[in-house]
Amino acid sequence: MRALPRVLLVAGTLAVLLAAGYGAGLGYLSWRESRAPSTGAVLVLKDGRRVPLIQPAPPVAPTSAAGATPVPAPGRAGIGAPAPTSDQPSAAALPPLRVRVPRLGLDWPVVLSDGQHLPRFKGVGWLLGSAYPGQAGNLVLLGHLDGPYATFGRLHELGANDTVAVVTEAGVRAYRVRTVFQATPDDVAVLAPTDQATLTIITCSGRWDPRVRMYDHRLIVIADLVTSVTVR
Amino acid sequence: MKHLTIKRAALWLCASLLALTLLPLAAQATGLQRETVTILVDFTTPTGTTILGTIVGHRIVDVPTTTEYTFTGTVNGLPAHASATVTERWADDGHAQIEVTALPDWQIPGVDPTVRQFSVVQIAKNLITVNGLPVAIDGNLQAPGGGRTTYIATNPGRGPLEILALPNTGVGPAAALGSLELVGLPGTPTDLIALVLAGVLAGISGLLAWTARPWRKAAVHADRI
Q: 3-state SS of chain A? A: CCCHHHHHHHHHHHHHHHHHHHHHHHHHHHHHHHHCCCCCEEEECCCCCEEEEEECCCCCCCCCCCCCCCCCCCCCCCCCCCCCECCCCCCCCCCCCEEEEHHHCEEEEEEEECCCCCCCCCCEEEECCCCCCCCCEEEEEECECCCCCECCCCHHHCCCCCEEEEECCCCEEEEEEEEEEEECCCCHHHHCCCCCEEEEEEEEEEEEECCCCEEEEEEEEEEEECCCCECC
How far is residue A192's CA from residue A183's CA, in Å, rounded to a whole number?
14
Q: What integer best gives the mean pLDDT of chain A? A: 83
Backbone angles phi, psi at B7, to 5 degrees: -65, -45
- The alpha-carbon gap from B11 to the nearest alpha carbon of chain A, in Å, equals 41
Which pLDDT score, from 0 to 100, does residue B197 have? 78
Question: What value does the mean pLDDT take over residues B60-67?
Answer: 93
pLDDT at A72 over 80: no
Residues contacting B202, CB < 8 A, separation 6+: none
Between B220 and B63, the more confident residue is B63
Between A98 and B22, the more confident residue is A98
Which pLDDT score, from 0 to 100, does residue B189 have? 52
pLDDT in tens, A21-53: 999 998 989 898 988 899 999 999 999 999 998
How far is residue A221's CA from residue A21's CA, in Å, rounded to a whole number?
50
The residue among A133, A98, A127 whose CA lies nearest residue A113 is A127
- Are B73 and A111 inside 8 Å of each other by CB? yes
- Are A86 and B74 inside 8 Å of each other by CB? no
Which pLDDT score, from 0 to 100, does residue B111 have? 80
**DSSP conformation class of B174:** G
Question: What value does the mean pLDDT take over residues A143-147?
Answer: 94
User: Taking a C-beta distance cutoff of 8 angstroms, is the pair B171, B181 a contact?
Assistant: yes
Sheet holding A41-44, edge to edge: A50-54, A41-44, B161-163
Name the least confident of A58-62, B98-102, B152-156, B169-173: A58-62
- Are A30 and B127 inside 8 Å of each other by CB? yes
Between A115 and B221, the more confident residue is A115
Nearest neighbour of B125 by CB, restricted to A59, A120, A187: A59
Which pLDDT score, from 0 to 100, does residue B46 have? 87
> Chain B contact for A174, CB < 8 A?
no
Question: What value does the mean pLDDT take over residues B66-92?
Answer: 95
Percent of chain B with pLDDT over 90: 52
State which amino acid sits at residue A15: A
pLDDT at B62 over 60: yes
Q: What integer best gives the mean pLDDT of chain B? A: 80
Percent of chain A with pLDDT over 70: 81
pLDDT in tens, A76-90: 444 544 444 443 434
Which pLDDT score, from 0 to 100, does residue B176 have? 44
Which pLDDT score, from 0 to 100, does residue B110 have? 80
Percent of chain A with pLDDT over 90: 69
- The alpha-carbon gap from A4 to the nearest alpha carbon of chain B, in Å, equals 30
Which pLDDT score, from 0 to 100, does residue A189 have? 95
Question: Residue B79: which pLDDT band, with cuts at 50, 70 and 90?
Answer: very high
Question: Residue A66: which pLDDT band, with cuts at 50, 70 and 90?
Answer: very low
Nearest neighbour of A144 by CB, restricted to B74, B162, B170: B170
ipTM of the complex: 0.82
The residue among A165, A55, A112 whose CA lies nearest residue B53 is A112
Which pLDDT score, from 0 to 100, does residue B27 have? 40
Question: What value does the mean pLDDT take over residues B14-26?
Answer: 52
CA–CA distances in Å: residue A58 to residues A86, B26, B55: 10, 35, 22
**DSSP conformation class of B32:** P
User: Taking a C-beta distance cutoff of 8 angstroms, is the pair A90, B148 a contact?
Assistant: no
Question: Residue A185: which pLDDT band, with cuts at 50, 70 and 90?
Answer: very high
Question: What value does the mean pLDDT take over residues B82-98?
Answer: 95
Question: Residue B172: which pLDDT band, with cuts at 50, 70 and 90?
Answer: confident
* Best residue of B35, B58, B142, B166 to probe chain A, by most A CBs closer than 10 Å: B166
Question: What value does the mean pLDDT take over residues B74-94?
Answer: 95
Which pLDDT score, from 0 to 100, does residue B219 have? 53
The residue among B30, B38, B48 whose CA lies nearest residue B72 is B38
Question: What value does the mean pLDDT take over residues B183-203?
Answer: 63
On the CB side of B25, CA atoms within 13 Å amount to 5
Between A67 and A82, the more confident residue is A82
Which pLDDT score, from 0 to 100, does residue B223 have? 54
Q: Between chain A and chain B, how many beta carbons pairs sit less than 8 Å apart?
A: 238
